[in-house]
A and B are shown apart, each in its own frame.
Chain A
Amino acid sequence: MNIFLQYTLLIYFLPLIAFGIQIFVGKRLPRQGDWVSIGAVLATLVLSIALFAGMLLDYNPTFKQNFSFTWLETANFKISMGFLVDNITIIMLLVVAIISSASHIYSLKYMEGDSRYSQYYAYLSLFTFSMNGIVLANSMMLLYMSWELVGLSSYLLIGFWFEKDSASNAGKKAFLTNRVGDIGFFIGIMSLFTAIGSFSYSDIFAGVAAGKITGTLLTLAGIGLFMGAVGKSAQFPLHIWLPDAMEGPTPVSALIHAATMVAAGVFMMVRVFPILSPDVLIIVAYIGGFTAFFAATIAITRTDIKQVLAYSTLSQLGYMIMAIGTGAYTVAFFHLAIHAMFKANLFYGAGSVIHGMHHALHKLGDHKTDAQDMRNMGGLKSKMPVTYWAMVISSLAISGVPLFSGFLSKDAILAGTLALVNRTGSHHLLLFFGFGAALITAFYMFRMIFLTFHNKPNKPKIFEHMKESPTAMLIPLVVLSTLSIFIFYTLPNVNPLSGQGWFTHLVAQHESLVPGNLNPSVYAIEESIHHSHFPAMITSLIVAGLGLLLAWLMYFKKLISAEVWTKRLRPLYTLSFNRYYIDELYDKIIYQPFLKIADWVAYLDWDVYDKYFINGFGRVTEWFAKVVGIADYDGLDQGIVDGFGRSTQRLGNSLKKIQTGKIQNYVLYAAFAIVILLILQML
């Protein structure tokens, strides 16, 4: 068997086996079986590293292995499933394996003593399995199945502490919101299938290149696929589920709702990029850009540490989507991989702080104070040095400071956007979104750092009981902080200001396959990005520096009073604080009308349909039964059945007169009978 197939089969199925073991017998195993899941995920990590090392040694941008088998065959169509292993797959597998392993190890302490510990690990394994399915799929079919499976595991893990209403509601909200996007995704997939007759990427690409699906239909299919990404990657207007998803355990937020699953939308867009028509790309770019900016403005006013990170995730996902829209999809994938590392790290850091807060509050016997509220923290730097430095490094990365990984990809995205504006001479709004979000990102990230770790403790009592988290939680922090350094992404290049390196070499951009294409060629895109690189870099450095400085002045030096500016910008503050009333808006325009319709339908159903129609049926049946009863009892029973009885009785009565009991009569009858017989015979 092919070595790649062996590896991918192992990577794919090991977590599934772990899930099976955990869900059925996990509780009875020693340590509730956490070692089964951790073993499985570490094995996938080792295998992924092996694949990755192979890829680096090969250093071939066009490397591609495709394995498929027939899954379903009918007279009219054939559906095959299988794995596609190329450089994108391998990099993504490694990203998933690293973050997943980190989450598994981190959870050892974070989830210690939970009543459903083994179930938690089972779900984590299920998620890893499903996510690897998305990454490895060579067809839309397996992609869609895995897509729904990650949705399920996300639902299970968000609502993991379902004793809390907020958690179970958040789970439902995530599931249902994703459903909206998935309907579009399904329509997209099926329109491609209808036109081309296959689910596999290669067939779809060939079909689009051959012009089997063109024009508006192709655009609609692209929009459908993008809807899937909007749901999964929480883009505006379906972003509402992601902040609520923070109700789940923090390692889950890090793994699923920051690094991997929410990036699945971006990953899928990267996969299908060659068949997206220019119209779709413009929509994608605007939705992404708007989400990046919009989510960043909300993050400024969050006081819950995980909420800040949630909105920052939205914003960064917006960046990736925008990069796809501008045609620089390699860059989008680059940012995906880099973002996964530093964002997971930020969540682990936040989890570490929350873990410490919980312990401190537990010691104080305080169950009312919010352990996630930054206003209850402050000055934690001295108590939690490892967590502090990990978060600072990640924050520098996300803000786009040179020497850190985030700078490379963010800069490339902004260069891509600037290149698009230069090429087309329009779409300046995207530039505003991109640089605006960069400025705000730097600001709110350091607002979080300063509020949490610097200055005087806001609650000295809690502060006294805070201490650094256990080693199992610090290992992921250290590893991921290391991976937030630029050098891992640019080797063999060591220039901290340029993103060129193995990544850009191996993830080669695919030419668009849309016939009669208005999309610029890869060469044109790369050329324009190259030209835009320097101005974009300077601008992004300036805005990031401005944001950082502003945060420093406001929350560290307190030279600018946050309170005064809040008052001055009251309307803006209110908007941001209430998340632009999007949830309320949905409540008004979707949920309430929906409930009203439901009420109305219930009224129709119960008061009209049931009462008049169903009950009417009842009454008609009742009446009919009465008539039938009369016919049956008085007519049939009395008339025919009893009539039979009566006539038999009457006949018997008349016949019994023959039966006199006198032998002589009988003999007489016999004699008569014989005479009659004789007469008959003679005749």
Chain B
Amino acid sequence: MNILQVYLTLAAVLFSLGIFAVITRRNAIAVLMGIELILNAANLNFIAFARFGGMNFSGHIFALFVIVLAAAEAAVALAIIINLYQNFQSINVDEAQQLKQ
């Protein structure tokens, strides 16, 4: 088993855990954390391909962009969650079913 496969397997596990979190968690923050996991699984793949797959610096650059995006996304998502809490007094995604008040 070569090293790339190990990274890819790890990334796949991370991705699956992320998806699992997104699907199963009721807590919006936990869902957000699942998304972070998915993004990081992708990042891990980029880096692994950059190192072993001949993607070179392009992989690094992509990874950096993803981190920046993840930061921005976290900011926006947390803002949404705060609004959610203000409206529903809860951050349980199941309870946020109304499109308008």
A residues neighboring B (CB under 8 Å): 661-664, 667-668, 671
When chains A and B are docked, how far (Å) is the Cα of A662 from the Cα of B94?
Answer: 7
Chain B residue numbers with a CB within 8 Å of A667 are: 19, 22-23
B93 within 8 A of A: yes
Chain B residue numbers with a CB within 8 Å of A664 are: 22-24, 31, 93
Chain A residue numbers with a CB within 8 Å of B22 are: 664, 667
B97 within 8 A of A: yes
Question: Per DSSP, are chain B's interface residues mostly helix, strand or loop, or mixed?
Answer: helix
B:1-41 near A, CB below 8 Å: 19, 22-24, 31
- Of A661, A662, A671, which one neighbours B19 at CB under 8 angstroms? A671
Chain A residue numbers with a CB within 8 Å of B31 are: 664
Chain A residue numbers with a CB within 8 Å of B24 are: 664
Closest to B25 in A: A664
Contact sample, A vs B, 15 pairs, CB 8 Å cutoff? A661-B97, A662-B93, A662-B94, A663-B93, A664-B22, A664-B23, A664-B24, A664-B31, A664-B93, A667-B19, A667-B22, A667-B23, A668-B23, A671-B19, A671-B23
Chain B residue numbers with a CB within 8 Å of A671 are: 19, 23
B residues neighboring A (CB under 8 Å): 19, 22-24, 31, 93-94, 97
Known pairs A664-B31, A667-B23, A671-B19; list 12 more (Cβ under 8 Å).
A661-B97, A662-B93, A662-B94, A663-B93, A664-B22, A664-B23, A664-B24, A664-B93, A667-B19, A667-B22, A668-B23, A671-B23
A663, A664, A667, A668 — which one has the most chain B CB atoms within 10 A of its CB? Answer: A664
User: Nearest 3 pairs between A and B by C-beta?
Assistant: A668-B23, A664-B23, A667-B23
Chain A residue numbers with a CB within 8 Å of B97 are: 661
Give the distance to chain B from A671, nearest Cβ to Cβ, in Å.
6
Give the distance to chain A from B33, nearest Cβ to Cβ, in Å.
14
Closest to B99 in A: A661
When chains A and B are docked, how far (Å) is the Cα of A667 from the Cα of B23?
Answer: 6
When chains A and B are docked, how far (Å) is the Cα of A340 from the Cα of B96?
Answer: 120
When chains A and B are docked, how far (Å) is the Cα of A663 from the Cα of B19?
Answer: 12
Closest to A664 in B: B23
When chains A and B are docked, how far (Å) is the Cα of A664 from the Cα of B93?
Answer: 9
Chain A residue numbers with a CB within 8 Å of B23 are: 664, 667-668, 671
Give the distance to chain A from B101, nearest Cβ to Cβ, in Å.
17
Give the distance to chain A from B30, nearest Cβ to Cβ, in Å.
11
When chains A and B are docked, how far (Å) is the Cα of A141 from the Cα of B73?
Answer: 107
Give the distance to chain B from A670, nearest Cβ to Cβ, in Å.
9
Chain B residue numbers with a CB within 8 Å of A668 are: 23
Chain B residue numbers with a CB within 8 Å of A663 are: 93
When chains A and B are docked, how far (Å) is the Cα of A668 from the Cα of B20?
Answer: 9
When chains A and B are docked, how far (Å) is the Cα of A629 from the Cα of B20?
Answer: 60
Give the distance to chain B from A446, nearest Cβ to Cβ, in Å.
124
When chains A and B are docked, how far (Å) is the Cα of A667 from the Cα of B22?
Answer: 8
When chains A and B are docked, how far (Å) is the Cα of A441 from the Cα of B22?
Answer: 134
When chains A and B are docked, how far (Å) is the Cα of A564 from the Cα of B93?
Answer: 139
Give the distance to chain A from B55, nearest Cβ to Cβ, in Å.
23
Give the distance to chain B from A665, nearest Cβ to Cβ, in Å.
8
When chains A and B are docked, how far (Å) is the Cα of A664 from the Cα of B31?
Answer: 9
When chains A and B are docked, how far (Å) is the Cα of A667 from the Cα of B85?
Answer: 23
Closest to A672 in B: B23
When chains A and B are docked, how far (Å) is the Cα of A662 from the Cα of B95?
Answer: 10
Closest to B31 in A: A664
When chains A and B are docked, how far (Å) is the Cα of A662 from the Cα of B97?
Answer: 8
Chain A residue numbers with a CB within 8 Å of B93 are: 662-664
When chains A and B are docked, how far (Å) is the Cα of A662 from the Cα of B24?
Answer: 11
Give the distance to chain B from A327, nearest Cβ to Cβ, in Å.
119
When chains A and B are docked, how far (Å) is the Cα of A671 from the Cα of B45?
Answer: 19
Closest to A666 in B: B23
Give the distance to chain A from B13, nearest Cβ to Cβ, in Å.
15
Give the distance to chain A from B69, nearest Cβ to Cβ, in Å.
19
Give the distance to chain B from A660, nearest Cβ to Cβ, in Å.
10
Closest to A663 in B: B93
Chain B residue numbers with a CB within 8 Å of A662 are: 93-94
Closest to A669 in B: B23
Chain A residue numbers with a CB within 8 Å of B94 are: 662
When chains A and B are docked, how far (Å) is the Cα of A663 from the Cα of B93?
Answer: 9
Give the distance to chain B from A667, nearest Cβ to Cβ, in Å.
5
When chains A and B are docked, how far (Å) is the Cα of A668 from the Cα of B22?
Answer: 9
Give the distance to chain B from A5, nearest Cβ to Cβ, in Å.
102
When chains A and B are docked, how far (Å) is the Cα of A663 from the Cα of B34?
Answer: 14
Give the distance to chain B from A641, nearest Cβ to Cβ, in Å.
36
When chains A and B are docked, how far (Å) is the Cα of A668 from the Cα of B24?
Answer: 9
B22, B23, B93 — which one has the most chain A CB atoms within 10 A of its CB? Answer: B23
Give the distance to chain B from A663, nearest Cβ to Cβ, in Å.
7
Closest to B97 in A: A661
Chain B residue numbers with a CB within 8 Å of A661 are: 97
When chains A and B are docked, how far (Å) is the Cα of A550 from the Cα of B89?
Answer: 145
When chains A and B are docked, how far (Å) is the Cα of A671 from the Cα of B19?
Answer: 8
Closest to B19 in A: A671
Give the distance to chain B from A372, nearest Cβ to Cβ, in Å.
108
Give the distance to chain B from A461, nearest Cβ to Cβ, in Å.
115
When chains A and B are docked, how far (Å) is the Cα of A664 from the Cα of B22?
Answer: 7
Give the distance to chain A from B9, nearest Cβ to Cβ, in Å.
15
Chain A residue numbers with a CB within 8 Å of B19 are: 667, 671
Give the distance to chain B from A477, nearest Cβ to Cβ, in Å.
115
Give the distance to chain A from B44, nearest Cβ to Cβ, in Å.
19
When chains A and B are docked, how far (Å) is the Cα of A661 from the Cα of B96?
Answer: 10
Give the distance to chain B from A322, nearest Cβ to Cβ, in Å.
117
When chains A and B are docked, how far (Å) is the Cα of A45 from the Cα of B93?
Answer: 119
When chains A and B are docked, how far (Å) is the Cα of A661 from the Cα of B31?
Answer: 16
When chains A and B are docked, how far (Å) is the Cα of A667 from the Cα of B20?
Answer: 10
Closest to B24 in A: A664
When chains A and B are docked, how far (Å) is the Cα of A662 from the Cα of B22?
Answer: 12
When chains A and B are docked, how far (Å) is the Cα of A671 from the Cα of B93?
Answer: 19
Give the distance to chain B from A422, nearest Cβ to Cβ, in Å.
130
Give the distance to chain B from A220, nearest Cβ to Cβ, in Å.
103
Give the distance to chain A from B26, nearest Cβ to Cβ, in Å.
9
Give the distance to chain B from A678, nearest Cβ to Cβ, in Å.
11
When chains A and B are docked, how far (Å) is the Cα of A664 from the Cα of B32?
Answer: 12
Closest to A661 in B: B97
When chains A and B are docked, how far (Å) is the Cα of A667 from the Cα of B93?
Answer: 14
When chains A and B are docked, how far (Å) is the Cα of A668 from the Cα of B16?
Answer: 12
When chains A and B are docked, how far (Å) is the Cα of A74 from the Cα of B38?
Answer: 96
When chains A and B are docked, how far (Å) is the Cα of A664 from the Cα of B19?
Answer: 10
Closest to A668 in B: B23
Give the distance to chain A from B58, nearest Cβ to Cβ, in Å.
26
Closest to B94 in A: A662
Closest to A662 in B: B94
